Amino acid sequence: MEITEWTWKTSDGLNLYACQWAPAVAPKAAVVLVHGLGEHIGRYVHVAAALTGAGYALLGFDLRGHGKSAGPRGHTPTYDALLNDISAFLDQVENRYPGVPRFLYGHSLGANLVLNYPLRRSSTLCGFIATGPWLELAFQPPASRVRLARLANRIYPAFSQSNGLKASDLSHDPVVVAAYQNDPLVHEMISARMFLSLYDSGLWALAHAAEFPLPLLVMNGSQDALVSAPSARLFAERAGAKATFKGWEGMYHEIHNESVQAEVFEYMIDWLGKH
């Protein structure tokens, strides 16, 4: 596995960190990763090892306000800014691998973006993978808190507070939980603008799932305490025959960090091979 790191500048002038994991031979396809809230692509090295071992390149970048990228922690000026960053990075991937099939793969917040992307933008991608997608939360946030977020969004959209995520809800594996808690690149912040962008866009994607245009794999853990597992299944059902849904019984939010990790990778690689 060959690793390449670089930085690039967004249309509004932020420096973002990117990384590529490539197989020793010409890749069958390039898989573009969009990570979750508060984390960074460095937590996906084992995913890269599985994909490169199967002949695929994995490329990704730390979202603005995350990891080694610039920007206020957990904030975005607009939802479109996140989609614009993905579009710009996809262009870089096309330049690195001209003519090679490309797939977009997102987890949690990243899956929210991945599911919205082809519904809002034209795409030449071959397919999409969404794991633990943030369409709806696993719990209903208090209406008063949502109203407060909408007020803050109008007055001071960068207002931030803790996202309330419990590391123990990510995986049954205590090693994964401890690594997350001790990772200096992980943060717990989310701004009013970021929260509402994701909250509203998740509901919008669910309402428009029947319009999803390309092959899609949706996977989640049945015991996800962070985002709604039933909503992930519902999205796939509404998307119709082009979508494949795979639930992992008893698993938490990060199925790629659970005891079924090897089976998750095998299922993903098999789906990629078919598309």
- pLDDT tens-place string over residues 117-126: 999 998 899 9
Asked if the model's pLDDT at residue 93 lies above 80, the reply is yes
Ramachandran angles phi, psi of 16, nearest 5°: -115, 140
* Cα gap 26→100, rounded to integer Å: 9
If we measure between CA atoms, which residue out of 269, 137, 125, 126 comes closest to residue 195?
Answer: 137
43 Cα distance to chain centroid: 12
Q: How confident is the model at residue 164 (pLDDT cuts 50, 70, 90)?
A: confident
Residue type, 58: L
Q: How confident is the model at residue 153 (pLDDT cuts 50, 70, 90)?
A: confident
pLDDT for res 147: 76
* Cα gap 135→158, rounded to integer Å: 22
**Between residues 207 and 122, the one the model is more confident about:** 207
The pLDDT mean for the chain works out to 95
pLDDT for res 159: 77
- pLDDT tens-place string over residues 51-89: 999 999 999 999 999 999 999 999 999 999 999 999 999
For residues 221-248, average pLDDT: 97
Give the total residue count for the chain: 275
pLDDT for res 217: 98
Strands 243-248 and 2-9: unpaired
DSSP state of 227: B
The residues spanned by each domain of the chain are 2-274
pTM for this model (two decimals): 0.96
| Coil, strand or helix at 146 | helix
DSSP state of 25: S
pLDDT for res 266: 98
Q: Residue 142 burial by CB count (10 A; 0-12/13-18/19+): exposed, middle or buried?
A: exposed
DSSP state of 129: E
CATH of domain 2-274: 3.40.50.1820
pLDDT for res 170: 98
- pLDDT tens-place string over residues 109-144: 999 999 999 999 988 999 999 999 999 999 877 776
For residues 28-44, average pLDDT: 98
